[in-house]
Structure 1
Amino acid sequence: MAPYLDTVKSFADVPIIDAGVDTLAFLEASEGLLGLFDLLGSAAFSPVQTDIKGNIVKVRVRYDAAPALSGTLEQLVENEKGEKKRTATEGLMWLLRGLSFTCKALQNSQANKTHELSVAFTSSYEATLKKFHGILVRPIFTLAMKACPYRADFYAKLVEDKSGGPPASEERLNQQLDQWLTALEAIVKRMEDFYAKGKHDKGF
């Protein structure tokens, strides 16, 4: 196997056209992000991973049920608008929040290379998910932040070639990861603006 980022779809490769963000490509890239939590290697992150995975499923179920109406994320949300239960719209909303949390945590890590991951993830949680969580959920996530592995160990796993080949260079990793995160940030911002403009988050 190649280094991790070579084995998954990058958000930089998710097509964005006039109609919006390509649904299937976005879901594929989101599934790739899930694997990062495996590399973090702590059971404390399982609630985060389970939440993201569950919301990916909700969006995919909607796509499979109405593919002609769900080619882009925007079309999927618009075409579910008149239904009583907007399961995919709510699932996508929470998926975007989980992606934003992960994106900002890794951006913090990239920007502050002397900081441990626990600092980067805690700062991201404070800025993203915490305001949406109640008093029962916050301690679970706080525990997960404290259970982050050492930065050096996580980055070593990112560059490792599990087939026995040489690891990716630090320069290559930083280039790939920065492109991946920049594209993810842009998609999240685009969809947050779309939700806010259309008031698609109302009722949840």
Structure 2
Amino acid sequence: MSTFFDEQKRSFIDVPITDGKIATSEFLEATEALIKLFDLLGSSAFTVVQNDLRGNVDKIRARLLSKPVESSTLQDLVINEKAEKQTKATQGLLWLSRGLQFTAQSLRETIDNPDRELAKTFNDGYGKTLTKYHSMLVRPIFKLAMKSCPYRKDFFAKLGADQDKVNAQLKEWVEALEKIVQIIFDFYESGNYATEPAAALEEEEALVVEAVAVAVAVSEEEEEAALVAADKAMEVEVDLPLQT
């Protein structure tokens, strides 16, 4: 019986790492497979997370397509872009890695605390990763997304029917993701490739605009759901037999 991990085009487990360098094309494929994981969380509140990840994937892929030889590994991509005094893909990879770290940490919290619901584990994951990069405007939007996580049992059911297999695959997948994220962060630190403050501010402002739009959409969705629930409650009340 297949699982979510069986159906991925590429897993982080299968991303080639040679002499500490990460293959760019395979890394992007694995990241795109990860983005689909948020569909299983079943809330439009996570759209802002998905769009942020996709946007940064697009920046890296654009660089890969324009300079395939010089960008065959993530490390070569960053080094060669710096030599050209360009930063777009480098900044994209940095923000993408932060998003991947959030995902890995949230799932690590989920694995290590089997009695905790996703709303708690994802909120803890956010608190240990992305929150330090976000402004006071963005943080509440992401916390809203964490609160909209499904029940743990429902999420794991969507991952696959064979729960023993799902748990084993999830653990292996998260470990591979954690390894890749750490390699990227160590590389950025060693070469001081981190995003410039002005670029970081621009990224943050764009995220605020999208986050607010998503928050409005979520509020409308919740309001509609409440109205539907109220209508159903009224139907039940009308159908109740009169007490004698």
Fold in common (TM above 0.5): yes
Matched residues, percent identical?
A: 49
Whose RCO is larger (CA < 8 A, sep 6+)?
Answer: 1
Q: Which amino acid aligns with 1:7?
A: E
Following TM superposition, the consecutive aligned residue runs of length 4 or more in structure 1 with deviations greater than 4 angstroms are none
Paired with 1:82 and 1:67, the residues of 2 have a C-alpha distance of: 16
Aligned to 1:164: none
* Unpaired stretches in structure 2, ≥5 consecutive residues: 198-244
Aligned to 2:117: 116
Per-residue deviation at 1:82? 2.6
Per-residue deviation at 1:202? 4.7
1:81 aligns with 2:86: no
Aligned to 2:175: 182
Paired with 2:87 and 2:180, the residues of 1 have a C-alpha distance of: 21
Q: Any idea what the Cα deviations from partners look like across 1:124-166, whole Å, max 9, x if unmatched? A: 111000000011111110100111011111000000xxxxxxx
- Superposed counterparts of 1:146-157, under 5 Å: 146-157=147-158
Q: Any idea what the Cα deviations from partners look like across 1:67-107, whole Å, max 9, x if unmatched? A: 00011100000000033431000000000000000011011
| More off after superposition, 34-43 vs 10-19 | 10-19
Paired with 1:94 and 1:190, the residues of 2 have a C-alpha distance of: 15
SS at match of 1:200: coil
Paired residues of 1:19 and 1:72 also in contact (CA < 8 A): no
RMSD: 1.2
1:192 aligns with 2:193: no
Aligned to 2:214: none
Q: Which amino acid aligns with 1:178?
A: K
With normalisation by structure 1, the TM-score equals 0.93
Paired with 2:74 and 2:17, the residues of 1 have a C-alpha distance of: 10
1:90 aligns with 2:91: yes
Q: Which amino acid aligns with 1:121?
A: F
Aligned to 2:46: 45
Q: Which of structures 1 and 2 has the bigger CA Rg?
A: 2
Paired residues of 1:58 and 1:87 also in contact (CA < 8 A): yes
Aligned to 2:23: 22
Aligned to 2:133: 132
Paired residues of 2:91 and 2:195 also in contact (CA < 8 A): no
Aligned to 2:60: 59
